[in-house]
Structure 1
């Protein structure tokens, strides 16, 4: 971290190289969603509730993991496994049903296999993060049945930058965990070549939390079960034991950009160590046998993760015949994470090596404009050690897709696509299984000059069970379960219907999206009532299920309002309910959640506040306790120091107070919700310097 802070201090000197250049004018435009297939379109032109975070929004929402960074976005929740491992959940669907991408290609990690596995993509060095649902997401395969999260790092550049040299330095400190974080990005241009280098670092200690680690419900249950007063855990003192996280990333990309073509290569190295909180609760009786706290500390488990990723991407504008452009992307990934029982004591090792490639061809077919392509992926997963709940498995998939759009001058538009895919899984102990998958989607919408937009869409998606769902057979201590797969599982199928209505003018926008998804043979993990290795046995099973929900959102801007400030107000409400065919509840579904914010901007200074209200989750699923709701408040202040000659436009100091009232927060989506609450009050201060 000290090197990153030195880089921030040196940034004003570097900025002198480009200080003579004229700053670009500020432009306010709807974000163009590059994750979409076919012609470029903005979020406002789509039926689904599609979102995008630019670099400013990423820094403002940045947390230790991708899931927590996106948690406040409409329809997005987090698996919330401490500070170190949280994956995004879209409309109640997560893990293997949400495809996390890096620059349009899968992350190729093992984060979908377990909530304690970190996603190998992090917003700390991202330029943009896009959230995609609906028909267009299906071109990325069956794992996108719930949606797509695409982390765009900008290492491979497709358009020649305007400045010969530019960069960004970012650093921040956090009070709740005595943590520091920072990153540096530099970009140099010479002729048609563009070199981009990035580095980032995060050091978070164990975080503070209000109240007790155990929820009141779990505490009362344990007291009743023991028939005597339950003794509070040693880690329930206000600091979450073993919740630290340290990350380092280093990356570089080199691009050649011609008049009608580009090609680039990139390498990214990610390293992470993080503790598994809640482990001392699971082994509290073993702790009593130790003589001292020092011996107990040595027993705390943690994960050491490493990933090296190689990317190649190139494109050319063809504009010949019916073809308009051609893009080729490929990634090779080497991934390892080791689960340590204590310092120097490696336990289970997970290894995943993989290759994924896509060829996408833009085209015009009569009145239709769209894209067709092919995707190939080959990944291997192996686990060695005491907690190797899955044996070596190779997974290969080949998919072809077609996506078309058409917009008329009267505001009417259509979109739709199809995808056919074959997935083969070969397990060392259980042999091979194969799945033929088919997905299709169609949508219609209408724009009016008055600002109204109305649309509806339908999609049919099929997903093959993954390696854990098919072949798991072993103890999984992080989730306190013995997991058993089922090689006879069939493919999961979902029919989604969604409608939207939106209205906007120059200062205000409001909208609502409503959806229902009927799943046939929904795959889920359920308790069997048996025990193995002193752990409850959970088995993967299938049953029909229905998800119903939606999002409502509004935004209002007032220029030159009270206190002579430019004001911005926004609010979003999202809700989802999920029930199995037998009437039981699907587990780990987020509750009704409201986010509302206000900001006043005087140019040099901006002040804002955000309120989050989450309702009770009283439909928790079989074997789970209900979860209380919560209300949190955040405050922030930004000071634009570029106005005073420090750095380029966008350079600012920021100060935030998250969870100002130190509220106890337990996400209903977390497997640790009853023993690991989220961090309490956090004062975050930092700088983002552009040069």
Structure 2
């Protein structure tokens, strides 16, 4: 019997489980503990990542600084089950389990980013980890409380501007700065937070200035050159791949014994080049206002009530050349949520209502979509209960109405229903088993319904279909995990059966010298999973404390007619090791990505790659500089200068990833 590559790794993990368990048992006497982060994005009572059937993750500030890249998607793409759409240095969105763009909801503090990043891969996400305190990644049924656009999952960027609890320190802050050799770039960010009685004030600022980046190979891939006889293209440096970003934000909160109330404002701007076009670039600006308040009720039924609201004004201009503005994209929006935590008999949960209203307008030669207003209102309920035996149950429902009103095509409405149910079991031995099923419905977005025009950034002429129906997905997921104080390992396997999956397909025709692509619907099936392991060893070889981690993710996606869904990530393995002597820590990370030989109709296959990263941290807080956590760091990314092309990127055959990068910087806490 021939075994597929993902299953080989799964079988290997199962076969080595007893050995790993024995290693962990041998270290049981060591005082070491693998901490599971509390996931605040989850509805209902607070839970850690280890208490969820789905594979959820959280990156704290330390991890964000270590993995920082120029875009949100690239910062997160080493996480299990996460890839990036990667449009050069300027734009990328996270891809979760092969699903991206309109199927992954990117949030800021639990409210949508209110931008146009889902409309095109060259549009930057109006949220960035450079000044965030935490980023959470949520997959599975719990994500459905955020709406049908979260059918693939949720990425929540938490900026910490509105505080719900009083900080321990009356005055604290952080300064962060780094330089990069691959693009002669600099990046910096700062945060100051002060407490005066019940008032908490927070100020943040960040900047990034990256030039064109070095590439280890000609821009055009070997496959593309063989396909159409094109020249190799630029070599050594990728023209027009620069990115510059700036942000400034402030928040003020009142924190009492039983509640909090706060507001924040953020202004950010960005300019970045579009690598396929010689001089074209995007100039982006957004102003966003947030308010959030909460009250601890605890009256026997209600436990707490939280209300959040955001208003944003977003605009970006696509310049054909300096001084020559082209297409302008504008969106103004409001989104609000009210969530009520409660106890109902043995159940703990949350119910609430969410409302969103936004307008999208595109003006200019590349305005491939006409003005569209989108309104949605949703109600949701999520319940859970953990029995003393270790058995747990959870489930949720959401009803939503989405109305889209286009200037030319008129109004279309969608009534959506989503639901989930799951069960899990904890054992004192450290085992956790769980399974869940969910049903989700998604309304097509503005581009899928109403697009009709040239899209030069992706070299396509896009045509929407106002008669598209809603997309539906039936998901099954199971997990098995084991952990003790020093080690954890496990696997999540999933199957999602889509009805009327919406996708962009080549028609074979041409308009305006561009190939025509139109949005269509067809049933599709996604299968895959993530394997993961962590191990800690105190006072190990070389008298260091050691940490090891590894994660392997895979997904296969096929349409009902047997063809492959395009832009799906290949089998990917990430592994890391770190030795910590207290003042000095040295580490290495390895990424292996397999070939993507199932690229979809009209797409070229993508070669796999192996990259290695090295890093060193010096804890200068031990020498009187700053408080705990202050470090100098030095990194070498893509040490071997490997040619890397992301199978999830529309530019994979013309825009390789950056080559070798030496990154040096400081994170100073006070």
Same fold (TM over 0.5): yes
Match of 2:408 in 1: 429
Alignment of 1:214-233 (within 5 A): 214-223=220-229, 230-233=230-233
CA distance in structure 2 between the partners assigned to 1:50 and 1:405 by the alignment: 17
CA distance in structure 1 between the partners assigned to 2:83 and 2:659 by the alignment: 18
CA distance in structure 1 between the partners assigned to 2:644 and 2:33 by the alignment: 38
Q: List, as ranges, runs of 4+ consecutive aligned residues in structure 1 with deviation greater than 2 Å.
A: 26-29, 230-233
CA distance in structure 1 between the partners assigned to 2:462 and 2:385 by the alignment: 47
Query: Is 1:111 aligned to residue 109 of structure 2?
Result: no
Match of 1:165 in 2: 171
Give the CA deviation at 1:27. Answer: 9.3
Cα deviation code 1:117-158 (max 9, x no counterpart): 000000000000000011110000000000000000000000
Match of 2:331 in 1: 352
Query: Is 1:133 aligned to residue 131 of structure 2?
Result: no
Q: Assess if the C-alpha contact under 8 Å between 2:259 and 2:295 holds in 1.
A: yes
Alignment of 1:318-333 (within 5 A): 318-333=297-312
Q: Which runs of 5+ in 2 are unaligned?
A: 1-31
Alignment of 1:79-478 (within 5 A): 79-223=85-229, 230-233=230-233, 236-280=234-278, 300-478=279-457
Give the CA deviation at 1:220. Answer: 1.1
Match of 1:77 in 2: 83
Match of 2:462 in 1: 483
Cα deviation code 1:503-554 (max 9, x no counterpart): 0011111100000000000000000111111100000000000000000001
Match of 2:662 in 1: 683
Give the CA deviation at 1:29. Answer: 3.3
CA distance in structure 2 between the partners assigned to 1:326 and 1:597 by the alignment: 41
Give the CA deviation at 1:561. Answer: 0.2
CA distance in structure 2 between the partners assigned to 1:428 and 1:210 by the alignment: 46
Cα deviation code 1:52-93 (max 9, x no counterpart): 000000000000000000000000000010000010000000
CA distance in structure 1 between the partners assigned to 2:651 and 2:446 by the alignment: 24
CA distance in structure 2 between the partners assigned to 1:661 and 1:583 by the alignment: 38
CA distance in structure 2 between the partners assigned to 1:73 and 1:562 by the alignment: 28
Cα deviation code 1:235-274 (max 9, x no counterpart): x121000000000000000000011010000000010000
CA distance in structure 2 between the partners assigned to 1:688 and 1:204 by the alignment: 19
Give the CA deviation at 1:221. Answer: 1.4
Match of 2:594 in 1: 615
Give the CA deviation at 1:222. Answer: 1.9
CA distance in structure 2 between the partners assigned to 1:687 and 1:142 by the alignment: 41
Cα deviation code 1:163-197 (max 9, x no counterpart): 11100000000000000000110001100000000
CA distance in structure 1 between the partners assigned to 2:536 and 2:34 by the alignment: 13
CA distance in structure 1 between the partners assigned to 2:312 and 2:71 by the alignment: 20
CA distance in structure 2 between the partners assigned to 1:460 and 1:27 by the alignment: 36
Q: Give the TM-score, by structure 1 length.
A: 0.92
CA distance in structure 2 between the partners assigned to 1:373 and 1:335 by the alignment: 27
Which sits farther off after the overlay, 28-37 or 102-111?
28-37
Q: How many residues align?
A: 639
Q: Assess if the C-alpha contact under 8 Å between 2:615 and 2:635 holds in 1.
A: yes
CA distance in structure 1 between the partners assigned to 2:459 and 2:170 by the alignment: 54
CA distance in structure 2 between the partners assigned to 1:189 and 1:67 by the alignment: 34
Give the CA deviation at 1:28. Answer: 6.5
Other structure's SS at 2:145 match: helix
CA distance in structure 2 between the partners assigned to 1:93 and 1:55 by the alignment: 26
Alignment of 1:571-650 (within 5 A): 571-650=550-629
CA distance in structure 2 between the partners assigned to 1:53 and 1:473 by the alignment: 39
The Cα RMSD (Å) is 0.9
Q: Which runs of 5+ in 1 are unaligned?
A: 1-25, 224-229, 281-299
Other structure's SS at 1:670 match: coil
